Amino acid sequence: MNTLYFKCIFLLSLCFASQSVLAEKPGKDFLITLNGSKLTGIIKDIVLTKENSQISFENDFGDTYTVRPETIYGFAVQEVSTTVFYESKALDGVWWFVQIQKKGSALSMFTSTERKLQFTNPNEPPLIVEEKNPQVWLQFEGEQPFKVYRFTYKGLLRKKMKSYPDLVRRIGKRGFRYNNLSEIVDLYNRFHEKENTKFSPAELGGH
């Protein structure tokens, strides 16, 4: 099976999960294996560090496993009333679970953050310590993810999005700044989809 198949399976799972989250039982998380299978269960712990990224996953039979990002395609976890989706990525040569912010046909947006378990008392459960400012990553389809920084995003995106001058002219202006990266990604995908839409002869005025 190829990478495109895995991506399609994961995207379908994301769509299904987001639509049916209210119908799922509380704690009904899932992960997607490298062969495209969906395994339901409970994500018990998430540890994200430069030295070690892993999750603790309990399947529906009560068996618990430690899972590293290079061994699965991604996973979804219920947090309060929201389903949060993660995908495995090799970032600067290190495997991470990155949180999916936007998944597009041409451009996607992810965030990575350090999340550790801090044991303060042997008789109490560990505390979850997480970075306040996650690192933002963008990835064009078929290319490697790249970091986006607040002070250099304008020049970087203008260069990488030069195929769409109308979008490039807006970058840095109100509504198209660093805090609006999600909207910029959405618009880039719309430009891309419009450019690649195949019109029928009737739509083009033909017969």
Q: What is the pLDDT of residues 146-184, one digit of tens each?
A: 999 999 999 999 999 999 999 999 999 999 999 999 999
Contact 42, 24 (CB under 8 A): no
CA neighbours closer than 13 Å in the CB half-sphere of residue 139:
23
Would you say residue 15 has pLDDT above 50?
Answer: no
pLDDT-based confidence at residue 131 (cuts at 50, 70, 90)? low
- Say how far residue 140 (Cα) sits from the centre of its chain: 13
pLDDT averaged over every residue in the chain: 81
pLDDT-based confidence at residue 78 (cuts at 50, 70, 90)? confident
| Residue 171: per-residue pLDDT | 97
Full-model pTM: 0.76
Contacts of 161 (CB under 8 A, 6+ apart): 167, 168, 171, 188
Q: Which two tokens stand for residue 205?
A: 């005025």
Q: Which two tokens stand for residue 38?
A: 């969906």
Measured distance CA(103)–CA(106) in Å, rounded: 9
Q: Which tens digit of pLDDT belongs to each residue from 94-123?
A: 899 999 999 999 999 999 987 655 545 566
H-run or E-run covering 129? strand 127-130
| Residue 197: per-residue pLDDT | 74
pLDDT-based confidence at residue 58 (cuts at 50, 70, 90)? very high
Percent of the chain at pLDDT > 90 equals 57
| Averaged pLDDT, 178-199 | 89
Instruction: Choose between 8 and 175: higher pLDDT.
Output: 175
Q: Which two tokens stand for residue 70?
A: 């290079």
